[in-house]
Amino acid sequence: MGQLKSKHHIPCVHFSANDEGLPRYASHQFDTCNQKQDGNLQIPPTIVVSDGSRMDLRRSSFYSTLDLVPQLDNYTSTLPHQQSRSRPSLEALRKVPHTTTDSEVSSLPVIDSGNEESKSLQEKAPVRFGWVTGVMIRCMLNIWGVILFLRLSWIISEAGIMLTSVIILMSATVTSVTALSISAIATNGRVISGGAYFMISRSLGPEIGGPIGVVFSFANALACALNTVGFAEVVVKLMMEFGIVMVDEINDIRIVGVITVTILLLISLAGMEWESKTQILFFIVLMVSFSNYLVGTIIPPSPEKQAQGIFGYHSEIFLANLKPDWRLGNNFFQTFAIFFPSAIGILSGANISGDLKDPATAIPKGTLMAIFWTTVSYLGISFTLGSCVIRDASGNISDALTGNITDGCVGCNLGWNFTECTLSKSCQYGLANDSKVLGQISGFYYLITAGVFAASLSSALGFLVSAPKVFQCLCRDKIYPYIGFFAKGYGKNDEPLRAYILCYVIAVSPLCLISNFFLCSYSLINFSCFHASITNSPGWRPSFHYYSKWTALFGAVISVVLMFLLTWWAALITFSIIFFLFGYVNYTKPTAVVSRLSSSFRPQCLVLTGPPNQRPALVDFVASFTKHISLMICGDIIMEEERQTRPQDATDLLVKWMNKRKVRSFYTPLSADGLRAGARNLLQASGLGKLKPNTLVLGFKSNWRESSPESIEDYINTIYDTFDSNYCLCILRMMDGLDIFDQFDFEVNQGFESDESVENDHQSPVRQSVEDISDKGDSDQIKTVFQSDQGKKTIDVYWIADDGGLTLLVPYLLTRRKLWRSSKVRVFIVGDEQNMDERRKEMIALLKRFRLDFNDVIVMTDSEKRPHSKNLSRFLDSVAPFRLWDEQQEGTLAQEFRENAPCKISDKQFEAFRLKTERKVRLNEIIRRNSQHAALVLVSLPVPQSDCPSALYMAWLDTLTCGLHCPAVLIRGNQQNVLTFYCQ
């Protein structure tokens, strides 16, 4: 057989590494002078995309120069509003190029990114925030509201320290569970701007997300208004202390509130950078204010402070304030309703997710840290305040105790007698009567006032920014009519200026359904997490693992319960609004929007099983990754000779067999003249709407060498029809023959058979009927490898060509099953020694963006070497019967041979595909060396050009998977992304 030499001229190139370590061309000129001729195969050629000043490298796959290796750039289009370099379609891969590499380059998109444009893009780069400034500080500022400074002392006096701690911990529990769900959703891919709306709409669909987007935006606007009113009240009272009155108290609050919201609007319109700096300023003021309070608790109180009920740390005061003292008919849930709005700021960071550097890291870390520290601060202030201040005090210096202590004396053990004002209920100081206790106990009173200002204004500003961000995302999805006007963004950060103005208008006219709106949002966020987990969505792959679907369900239920416990009529109004908006979307059904927002790829499989009981391994393999997840249809193509002998109840018996095997699948028999005709009809007619297959699964035709040319042509053309129909394709090869038994072959399509290695184990001269087979199957189900626990074996994935990710999705779905859960997935990719580390890091980074826990990546650096001569000889012997040895290079004789034997391989064709053949043989050597002990091997299926002879392509498929002792799957996606970066 000798040495095989390629006639193709393959250019080699010089490239250098840029700042990021990615290979870049140093020159546009191809340098072929140093091309090695030492017998090794050349490195697969690269594709150049010119940008006018720099060259970009796109590494071709092992299969062809047009088919690309997996790389991150091909998936950036999965991010909303992002464009990527498109990978070639199946149609493009099937085309025969008219010229060489240059023509292939011309078919790819040219990306023009000149130096001047690059500089301008850098200058206009949007501001991005980390987890501290973007999430944690923002959430903490929204949680620390005016309730902390003005109402917490009253809550302690009513509920006592013990129940106040319960109220704080209950609120923290609801927000923490919700934060875990938010973290899971936020790490399930890239989250763009839109916060709660984006998360819910991509998880539960726009029917639920749309109403929440409207209600949540409105709730944020109202929260801005209420915090502004709280600020205005404090300002007006401070003005009245100095005798300043503009109109009257009520109108003064309105005037100050409108001025305040206007100033906050101007800060928001200035951009996120200014807004962030303002928030940091507020945070510093709050830290100073808290420090001032803590210092005040340890300073010995003056007689004036003691008259106001402030005595410093005393165990008697702590014990007296430990239990509740309900007054004026108040109870636990009323005080809880007053406190809970202080905890609603946990979504402040998630709502600006589009302005975060890394939302998947920032949102979980920042939100949970904010909840932790604010909970600690609330508990700390509750304990310190309850240990230093009594409930009732008169404020009169004359109430200092000078005589003997009398029975029932209030404050006498502290040297004061507040009995008179307590009995007459005229006490003006103490926890129960004065909202300024924090200021009175602090070292400097007006620093607490500054803290009140910072808390209220920071919360108002945070809500004023959150509402337009969420509403802008909702408007862009075009779920509701007449709101698209507010979708437009401005500036480098895509600021929703129009939505800011709308929020401003709402904020100056506040209402009071805010707690219920936020609780409703929390409920649906938790339910989104629970729903995605319980439905086993293939797109649900959060990298944040510290959540549970049951805690998420608990969070959803408790949020609804709290809505009705707080204000039942407000809860009914909230749900009425939600149901109305839901009904509108469900009735109008904006199909394009719904399909776009609800798209999460699921492998819907059409499996050409024939009678399912005759290929149990093929059935079990597909059921392993479709059961409870997606559609499976077992297609049975019935030939002409089988129709007359087929029992009338055969369909019922086969369905009964599948039910007995607990296979979730439809069974679809179809009469046809051949495999290709039947498969084509099934591809076109199977399924309906969302229950339509997108993946064809075949068994491997291992008897192809003994088959007729027509049979091979029929099988290969079925594969070609699959590509032409834009379907994904899987071909399962069972080396142990578990997909069919020899005694059943009279019922089996001759398009594909089992390997010969086990045929002798199942010889039977008697041909059974379908009824006999079904009866046997009911009592003795045949166990296959896919029904056995695989232990800690490996699933080896040879991801040679970028098909959109199906090659990775299928093994991921398998590892979610109990039998495969302990199996380790290894990913093999093509590379060379010079960039081995870079290729491995790039692939690990890509897998991380997919949220796949596959960390074992192996770079095949020796894939360019020539295969061993004995393996080449074996391949040549296998295709020898299909060669047209006597065909001439030109003339009418060649055309006549080709027409009479379409699957035969001419000498010209064999030489044209010689290099690709050698690569397939070499790849098989690598697979056999690395995967002898694997539980399953998946290999990227090569897409042949339209002029590739059927027999040669069949030999390639045989070569890629031969010599293994485990099941092998040749798999190919349809070149469309099934793994995405963004939340789905």
Q: What is the DSSP string of 52-75?
A: SS-EEEEEB-SS-SSSBPP-GGGG
Of the given ranges (205-209, 365-369, 426-430, 617-621), which has the lowest mean pLDDT?
Answer: 205-209
Ranges 41-50, 388-397, 814-823, 864-873: which has the least confidence: 41-50
What are the helix (H) ranges across 769-824? Answer: 770-779, 806-815
The identity of residue 935, as a single letter, is A
Say if 979 falls within a structural domain.
no
| Spatial distance between the Cα atoms of 185 and 179, rounded to a whole number of angstroms | 10
**Residue from 200, 206, 170 nearest 184 by CA:** 200
Res 634 pLDDT > 90:
yes
What does the buried/exposed string (b/e) look like for 698-731 if buried means 16 or more CB atoms within 10 Å of the residue's CB?
A: bbbbbebbebebebbbbbbbbbbbbbebebbbbb
Three-state DSSP class for residue 960: helix
pLDDT score of 82 more than 60: no
Residue 64 lies in a domain: no
CA 926 to each of CA 464, 792, 920: distance values in angstroms, whole numbers, following the listed order: 59, 22, 10
40 within a domain of the structure (yes/no): no
Mean pLDDT value across the chain: 78
Q: Distance between CA 438 and CA 151 in Å, rounded?
A: 10
- Estimate to the nearest angstrom the gap between the alpha carbon of 952 and the chain centroid: 41
The model scores a pTM over 0.75: no
Inform me whether the pLDDT recorded for 980 exceeds 80: no
CA distance 472 to 824: 43
Q: pLDDT per residue over 476-521, tens digit each? A: 877 787 788 888 888 777 788 888 888 888 776 554 456 677 788 8
pLDDT band with cut points at 50, 70 and 90 for residue 167: very high
Instruction: State yes or no: pLDDT of 247 exceeds 60.
Output: yes
For residues 383 and 401, state if they share a domain: no
pLDDT band at 903 (very low <50, low <70, confident <90, very high): confident
Residue 767 domain flag: no
CA distances from 311 to 66, 156, 157, 416 (A): 81, 16, 16, 10
* pLDDT-wise least confident of 76-90, 243-257, 571-585, 868-882: 76-90
758 lies in a domain? no
Q: Which of 354, 349, 361, 281 shows the shortest CA–CA distance to 126?
A: 354
- Cβ(964)–Cβ(928) below 8 Å: yes
pLDDT of residue 535: 77
Which pLDDT band, with edges at 50, 70 and 90, does 895 fall under?
Answer: low
Q: Which residues fall within 8 angstroms of residue 61, CB to CB, at 6 or more apart?
A: 44, 67, 68, 69, 800, 801, 802, 830, 940
pLDDT confidence of residue 471 = 85
Co-location of 362 and 458 in the same domain:
yes
Q: How far apart are CA 349 and CA 367, in angstroms?
A: 7
Assigned token pair, 616: 């149990």
pLDDT band at 368 (very low <50, low <70, confident <90, very high): very high
SS (HEC) of 73-98: HHHHHHCCCCCCCCCCCHHHHHCCCC
Identify the weakest region by mean pLDDT among 94-108, 444-458, 770-784.
94-108
Residue 709 near residue 956 (C-beta atoms within 8 A): no
- Distance, CA of 83 to CA of 85 (rounded, Å): 7
**Residue 55 falls inside a structural domain:** no
pLDDT at residue 759, as a whole number = 34
Q: Are residues 377 and 404 in the same domain?
A: no
The mean per-residue pLDDT over the stretch 21-25 comes to: 33
Q: Give the CA distances from residue 677 to residues 376, 646, 682, 718, in Å, rounded to whole numbers and listed in that order.
A: 70, 20, 9, 8
The CATH number of the domain holding residue 675 is: 3.40.50
Which among 733, 759, 781 is the end of a domain?
733
CB 906 within 8 Å of CB 887: yes
pLDDT recorded at residue 756 = 39
Which residue in this structure is represented by tokens 């380059």? 105
Q: Does residue 767 have a pLDDT over 70?
A: no
Q: What is the pLDDT of residue 739?
A: 43
Mean pLDDT of 712-737: 88
Taking a C-beta distance cutoff of 8 angstroms, is the pair 471, 479 a contact?
no
The domain total for the chain is 4
Same domain, 303 and 451: yes
pLDDT of residue 890: 52
| 652 and 678 belong to one structural domain | yes
Rounded Cα–Cα distance for residues 173 and 189 (Å) = 26
* % of the chain at pLDDT higher than 70: 79
Grade residue 359 by pLDDT with cuts at 50, 70 and 90. Answer: confident
| φ/ψ of residue 959, rounded to 5 | -65, -40
CB 847 within 8 A of CB 827: yes
SS3 227: helix
E strands, 615-661, in order: 632-638
| Tokens found for residue 565 | 């416990």
Q: Across 50-54, 79-83, 667-671, which has the greatest mean pLDDT? A: 667-671
Helix (H) or strand (E) holding 16: strand 15-17
- Residue 779 inside a domain? The answer is no
* pLDDT at 161 (0 to 100): 93
Is pLDDT larger for residue 486 or for residue 110?
486
What is the average per-residue pLDDT within 867-896?
A: 75
pLDDT of residue 405: 58
Q: How far is the C-alpha of 622 from the C-alpha of 729, rounded, in Å?
A: 12
Domain assignment of residue 806, given as a range: 790-966
pLDDT greater at residue 748 or residue 870: 870
pLDDT at 531 over 60: yes
Confidence at residue 940, expressed as pLDDT on a 0 to 100 scale:
93
280 and 335 share one domain: yes
Q: Using the predicted structure, report yes or no on whether residue 10 has a pLDDT greater than 70.
A: no
Give the whole-angstrom CA distance, residue 710 versus residue 794: 38
Q: What is the mean pLDDT of residues 429-451?
A: 87
| pLDDT above 90: percentage of residues in the chain | 18
CB 468 within 8 A of CB 503: yes
Query: Of how many residues is the chain composed?
Result: 984
Residues 6 or more apart whose CB falls under 8 angstroms from that of 584 comprise: 480
3-state secondary structure of 510: coil
At residue 765, does pLDDT exceed 70? no
Would you place residue 808 in the very low, low, confident or very high pLDDT band (cuts 50, 70, 90)?
Answer: very high
DSSP-assigned letter for residue 944:
-
The yes-or-no verdict on residue 891 having pLDDT over 70 is: no
Which band of pLDDT confidence, cut at 50, 70 and 90, is reported for residue 982?
Answer: low
Residue 210 pLDDT? 81
Q: Among 521, 556, 587, where does a domain finish?
A: 587
User: Bigger pLDDT: 438 or 62?
Assistant: 438
* 886 has a pLDDT exceeding 60: no
Q: Is 326 helix (H, G, I), strand (E, B) or coil?
A: coil
Residue 611 CA to residue 670 CA, distance in Å, equals 11
Q: Would you say the C-alpha torsion 756, 760, 761, 764 has a positive or negative sign?
A: positive
Shared-domain flag, residues 312 and 386:
yes
Average pLDDT over residues 661-679: 89
Q: Tell me the C-alpha to C-alpha distance, in Å, between residue 797 and each of 402, 811, 980.
A: 88, 8, 19
For residues 341 and 459, the answer to whether their CB atoms sit within 8 Å is no
Interval 265-292 mean pLDDT: 88
Q: Alpha-carbon torsion 539, 543, 548, 551, what sign?
A: negative
Q: Is the pLDDT of residue 31 over 60?
A: no
Sign for the pseudo-dihedral over CA of 694, 698, 704, 709: negative
Arithmetic mean of pLDDT, 880-905: 64
Q: What are phi and psi of 15, to 5 degrees?
A: -140, 155
pLDDT of residue 403: 59
Helical axes 359-388 vs 272-298, angle rounded to 10° = 30
Is residue 402 assigned to a domain?
yes
Same domain, 403 and 384: no
Q: Does residue 34 have a pLDDT over 60?
A: no
Find tokens 């709306």 and name the residue: 197
User: Which of 91-95, 165-169, 357-361, 601-605 holds the top average pLDDT?
Assistant: 165-169
pLDDT band for 55, please (50, 70, 90 cuts).
very low
Given this model, what pLDDT does residue 590 score? 61
Q: How confident is the model at residue 900 (pLDDT cuts 50, 70, 90)?
A: low
pLDDT above 50 (res 766): no
Domain boundary residue among 408, 426, 444? Answer: 426
- Separation of alpha carbons 824 and 230, rounded Å: 57
Q: DSSP state, 69?
A: P
Highest mean pLDDT among 231-245, 658-672, 739-753: 658-672
Whether residue 820 is found in the same domain as residue 927: yes
Residue 862 has what pLDDT? 85
Is the domain of 857 the same as that of 715? no
Verify that 413 and 447 share a domain, yes or no: no
* Tokens describing residue 960: 């890629």
pLDDT at residue 689, rounded to an integer: 72
Residues 6+ apart with CB under 8 A from 623: 632, 663, 664, 665, 786
Q: What pLDDT is recorded for position 858? A: 92
Q: Average the pLDDT over each of 121-135, 494-508, 820-834 and give the range with the smallest value.
A: 121-135
Task: Look at residue 957 and tell me whether its pLDDT is greater than 90.
Answer: yes
Q: Are residue 414 and residue 439 in the same domain, yes or no?
A: no
